[in-house]
Amino acid sequence: MSETPFRPREKLFEKQRYFQSIQKHTYLKGPFDKVTSVAIPVALAGSAIFLIGRGIYNMTHGIGKKE
């Protein structure tokens, strides 16, 4: 006795045709992949640059020193 598949075979073939026909990069093929591959790293880099800049500003002006 075999186990039932998670997805119907037709849906699997449809997804395979979709992913094999696209000419984009592999990591940007899905509909929401731009969020995980582009937006999140850009947000992390932006916040890191902001925090580093704020730290340098505070050090140069002597703000937030412990007595």
The pTM score is 0.54
- Tell me the residue type at 36: T
Which pLDDT tens digit goes with each residue over 9-36?
888 888 888 878 777 676 666 777 778 8
Distance CA 67, CA 7 (A): 64
Distance CA 10, CA 33 (A): 23
Percent of the chain with pLDDT strictly greater than 90:
36
pLDDT attached to residue 55:
94
Q: Which of 8, 41, 7 is nearest to 33 (CA)?
A: 41
25 neighbors 32 (Cβ within 8 angstroms): no
Distance CA 20, CA 7 (A): 19
